[in-house]
Amino acid sequence: MRKLNYDSILVFLFLVSVFLLGLCKIEDTDAWTHLNLGRLIWETKSLSGLEPFVFPDFGTPLSYSEWLFQIIYYLAYVGFGVYGVILLKTTAITAGFYLLLRDSLRPYGNLVISIALMTVAVIAARYRFVERPDTFLLLFLSFSVFSLNAFFYDNKKYLYALPVVHVIWANMHTSIILMVVPFLAFIAGGVLQSYFSERGMTEAPYPTKFQLITITLVFLASLGASLLSPYSLSQYVGGANFVVSGWIGIGGGQVSTPAWVIATIAELRPPDWATFKTPFFLTAGLIISFLVNRKRFSLIHFLLVIPFIVFSFTAIRFIFLLGVISGPVMARNFSGYLDMSKKWTTLIPHKALTGIVLVWIILYTFLGMAEAWPFYRHFPEKHFGFGFNTRRMPEGALR
């Protein structure tokens, strides 16, 4: 009889938990906009550039920057109905967290710590498990960071696929501007890391000159590839206005977000301690993790998380990005500290710690599916299963 592989069970249960927590009824009203625009593009085989649906903006300029996402989601709906839409969303999310988990294991391979902290990332990001381009943003951003770390630590060649991944990302969402952050963190952080490490000021590993040159060339290739879009450079301008300046696109243009819009649309409001504590806890966790692993303090990963900490405090809709980025970084920092101290194995036996994490995975999954704490306060609309959340449908709102 084969011996049970507890590591494989942990990974399997974690991915199942992500899948189940992503398997929610459609509750985001923007899903219908994306599906209808996808149908229009598919039927007309063109991007009209004019608002086709919304009065009084009918006929005004409209950017289809998510055109590829909209077609893919529409085809999923044509093929399998609402089941196809929800399964596509859930599969993209699960694939993203699989990449994040693999990323968190480099270079120390502490699976128990990694999965424990990745469940925190799932809790932080679940409110954004929606039928929007955000699901592919999660997947593409995760692959970008994963491939850069894989090249840095193990000289794996996944990063050569980044230009292809980024041209797809560029045609799915204006969030392509976030592609720049991991590249700059690895290039600038790598140069600084090598400077300090060579002078004995830190024990953290640093990239070789060949790696820095390769990452820079792939970055330039990705920038060029991302311009292969009907909107070329304008998507960077629009994305910068939205992400950095807190602007929104209306009728194809960019206008400063009025106060009444921020007050009305919850996801555009900055989080505060009374309403959304997640970014505060994640930021505190990151600070603690860098402090305990100060001997191997990574400037690369420090520069990687800083922009996402800032984003998370500008609007509620960006908090999930901090969860996605912070999970592997915290896991790497705490695993690095435990790797140096060698004391933790004497405190809690590995099998006991594995058992605790297994129980936690099962528990937090059922809490999420039951809409209980810590999920209920922030995710009261995440109803498990297929179909629609009728309270969020227009006719349900009218009733």
What would you report as the CA-atom Rg of the chain, rounded to the nearest whole angstrom?
22
Q: What ranges in the chain are assigned the alpha helix state H?
A: 6-22, 30-44, 67-104, 111-125, 134-154, 162-170, 180-198, 209-226, 234-243, 259-264, 278-292, 299-312, 319-341, 344-347, 350-369, 394-398
Give CA–CA dist 197/301, Å, rounded: 15
pTM over 0.95: no
Secondary element (H or E) of residue 382: none
CB atoms near residue 73 (< 10 Å): 26
Residue ranges in the chain whose pLDDT is less than 50: 1-3, 245-255
Mapped onto helix, strand or coil, the DSSP state of residue 253 is strand
Angle at 367 between CA 366 and CA 372, to 5 degrees: 145
The predicted structure's pLDDT at residue 393: 66
Token digits of residue 114:
């990694």
Residue with tokens 């593409």: 140
CB 24 within 8 A of CB 126: no
The predicted structure's pLDDT at residue 252: 34
The predicted structure's pLDDT at residue 248: 41
Residue of 52, 36, 168, 116 lying closest to 338 (CA atoms): 116
CB 325 within 8 A of CB 308: yes
DSSP state of 63: -
The predicted structure's pLDDT at residue 186: 96
The predicted structure's pLDDT at residue 255: 42
Amino acid identity of residue 187, one-letter, is I
Give CA–CA dist 376/393, Å, rounded: 20
φ and ψ of 97, to 5 deg: -75, -25
Token digits of residue 99:
């990449």
Give CA–CA dist 34/131, Å, rounded: 9
CB 331 within 8 A of CB 117: yes
- Ramachandran category for residue 342: left, alpha or beta (phi over 0 → left; psi -120 to 50 → alpha): left
Note the Cα 168 to chain centre separation in Å.
Answer: 16
Pairing of strands 253-256, 247-250: antiparallel
The predicted structure's pLDDT at residue 251: 32
The predicted structure's pLDDT at residue 321: 94
CB 388 within 8 A of CB 83: no
